[in-house]
Amino acid sequence: MTKENKDLLASVSDISTESEFFSPLPAGYKKGKTRYVFVMGTVMSGLGKGIFSSCLAKLLQDKGLKVAPIKLEGYLNVDSGTLNPFRHGEVFVLDDGMECDMDLGTYERMLDQNLTRSNFATSGQIFSSVLNKERHGDYLGRDVQMIPHVTGEVKLKLRQLAMESKADVVFVEIGGTVGDLENAYFIEATRELAYEEGPNSSCFVALTYILEPKTLGEQKSKAAQLGIKQLMQCGIQPDIIACRAGSPVNEKARQKISVYSNVPFERVISLADSDSIYMIPAMLRENGLDFQVLRLLKIEDRINLQKERKEWGKWCDFTEKMDSLNREVTIGITGKYTTVRDSYASIINALEHAGIALGCKEKIKWIDTTDITDANVAENLCDVDGIIVPGGFGTRGAEGKIACIKYARENNLPYLGLCFGFQMAVIEFARNVCGIKDANSTEIKPGWPKPVIDILPEQKEIEGLGGNMRLGGHDIELKKKTMAWKLFGKKDSVRMRFRHRYEVDPRYIEQLEKAGLVFSGKAPNQPIMQILELPEHPFFLGTQAHPCLTSRPLRPQPMFVGLVSAALQRHYPKEKLPDCIQAVEKYAMV
């Protein structure tokens, strides 16, 4: 946390604890200056509230407005770090080390912003803050209650973000659905905030779902009506209702919802399923939703139409490329969470960004490494043009990943290893090239005598504090003349995000390098290896980082552009295609 943010937290204005208008404000905060858009869901979760909110925020950002998103999560975890990918999708790591919901990745990609822990709040954070204040005597003897103290803490969080970001509009996404017990106080806090900020300060958007039972052959809006009724019972009148459905929502269903909810018909919009989330901004724009929000918030005078034309032109150039992809490559993702695609959401997006830039479709083959062995690996990888071994924790599927890496190394198959994939590449090379037959990781074999992958001594010292995870953005020092150095525009260093505990044991570095493994990226002034490559291989890179977390639609990440480019060359050997470095120089974010 920066000194400025600490000062902001320390300077919350004093409000009499006897007042029923208890609502702490950051010092200098002016009610009504920042506007708020609240996005919440009804009927069911998984409607795409984060996608909708980020796309709407992008449209306002393109008009020259400064926007700041925040996700409010009802669960009691302080962050998302301990959540299993099978239950909650991938853990998205911010540059400041915050482990958060995957929707933050959607916001970062769509808005091309690096977010911070200020953009994410859980019930665990809110309650911890309230209880800490109670222990310090901040409430001066009052009984601490959900209203006004817990809801006041939520409002303070939103207003602090407004002050810190200097945003014109703060977009607030509430996880889950209306009616969830854990979300009730979030919804109440938004109602209170809208009341306190005054007229035209807030816009409430309800995402709902229109059922289309196949047996009936028509769209049914009753579930949506009941969900909206629940929201209105909370004291919130929605200003906009976005109707999700498999196909365009017909006029009859929208009319019913309009009448039932008191929302003008033109602000009850249809949002049918789309092949790509990058088409959603155009759908919202065609419905005039961006200008509806501007009018509701009375901030039409803040827009910059010249900037909008420029930014929208860039976005249209990007989406038009999606309709003219004339090649296809198959990338194998060899992991252990392959049945839950959300576990690898950032990787999927990074591949898509690279593919669109290079004019090709990237077909993903999901390969569960639990059952992969040296005997069947060739059969499983025979139809792919490149592979990714992604991050993960634990032992399951590790030997299958090593088998895939060995096959890629020996058969010139383009390879990109991420985090755990970097570590497994070191183990494979140590075993099969250096001759360290029993090389392994202490994560897989605790206490193993030959741990080429281990927790470093300085990390072991803080293990008892629970802080031995290397998290967030760190600089990587690049070795000149290597592929990594060239991929990143021949820069001396690059910044990427990390989430791991184990490293290459420094005792084995010299032996690995003598055998031909090149460590082309390391932590500055530390023996921590962070990028590896094989110079004689068409494309064999591994990184201890998660480069997929910083890929953007208009600025694809270099390592992914390099992988897809190498896969293209393998799939179309007779065509004159740019090599990895040329492709990155033309298309990537260097």
260: Cβ contacts below 8 Å, ≥ 6 apart: 225, 228, 229
H/E run at residue 530:
strand 529-533
pLDDT one-digit tens code per residue, 492-513? 999 999 998 899 999 999 999 9
pLDDT one-digit tens code per residue, 279-300? 999 999 999 999 999 999 999 9
Q: Phi, psi (5° rounding) for residue 501?
A: -115, -30
H/E run at residue 59:
helix 49-62
Q: Is the pLDDT of residue 341 over 90?
A: no
Dihedral of alpha carbons 195, 198, 201, 206, sign? positive
Q: Is the pLDDT of residue 90 over 70?
A: yes
Q: Is the pLDDT of residue 363 over 80?
A: yes
Place of tokens 């989430």: 499
pLDDT band for position 3 (cuts 50, 70, 90) = low
H/E run at residue 207:
strand 202-209
Determine the average pLDDT of the residues in 450-470. Answer: 66
DSSP secondary structure letters along 218-284 = S-B-HHHHHHHHHHHHTT---SEEEEEESSPPPHHHHHHHHHHHT--GGGEEEEE--S-GGGHHHHH
- What is the rounded average pLDDT for all residues in the chain? 91
d(Cα 297, Cα 280) in Å, to the nearest integer? 22
Determine the average pLDDT of the residues in 135-143. Answer: 87
d(Cα 171, Cα 93) in Å, to the nearest integer? 20
Residue 521 in tokens: 């990226």
pLDDT band for position 589 (cuts 50, 70, 90) = low
pLDDT for the residue numbered 342: 77
- By CB atoms closer than 10 A (0-12, 13-18, 19+), residue 539 is buried
pLDDT for the residue numbered 8: 47
pLDDT one-digit tens code per residue, 371-424? 899 999 999 999 999 999 998 776 778 999 999 999 999 999 999 999 999 999
pLDDT one-digit tens code per residue, 241-264? 999 999 999 999 999 999 999 999
Q: Is the pLDDT of residue 462 over 50?
A: no
Residue 113 in tokens: 């912003």
Dihedral of alpha carbons 17, 18, 20, 25, sign? negative
For residue 189, the one-letter residue type is A
Determine the average pLDDT of the residues in 538-546. Answer: 97
Q: Is the pLDDT of residue 6 over 80?
A: no
CA distances from 23 to 72, 232, 445 (A): 19, 23, 53
Angle made by CA atoms 15, 6, 39, in degrees to the nearest 5 = 70
CA terminus-to-terminus distance, the chain: 28
Q: Is the pLDDT of residue 14 over 90?
A: no
Determine the average pLDDT of the residues in 58-70. Answer: 98
pLDDT for the residue numbered 10: 47
CB burial readout 146-158, b (16+ within 10 A) else e: eebbbbbbbbbbb
pLDDT for the residue numbered 466: 43
All structural domains of the chain: 35-318 (3.40.50.300), 325-587 (3.40.50.880)
pTM: 0.92
* Closest CA relative to residue 434, chosen from 515, 502, 337, 355: 515
Other C-beta atoms lying within 10 Å of the C-beta of residue 234? 15
pLDDT for the residue numbered 467: 52
